[in-house]
Amino acid sequence: MRELVEYIAKNLVDQPDAVRVTEREEDNAFILELTVAPDDMGKVIGKQGRIAKAIRTVVKAATTKSPKKYIVEII
């Protein structure tokens, strides 16, 4: 999942080298922390959070059969 989020984010931003995705585990969930350059933050979040919501939807759809839950946080 980390690679999927990284791929999506790198194709959205102007500075793909600044994209970082870290994964940590808490309770029964994996948390994917997405970090981008400050100038690209708006491109990843989108108007009214639409792009961020779309990224979360893609991750949720890709992990429907997984017993663990994946959460995407944009930092």
> Is this structure's pTM higher than 0.85?
yes
74 phi-psi bin (left φ>0, alpha ψ -120 to 50, beta other): beta
DSSP letter assigned to residue 36: -
pLDDT on residue 68: 86
pLDDT on residue 58: 95
pLDDT on residue 42: 94
Domain boundaries, the chain: 2-74
Q: Are 19 and 25 in contact (CB under 8 A)?
A: no
CATH match of 2-74 with 3.30.300.20: yes
pLDDT tens digits along 8-64 = 999 999 999 999 999 999 988 999 999 999 999 999 999 999 999 999 999 999 999
71/56 Cα distance (integer angstroms): 7
pLDDT on residue 28: 86
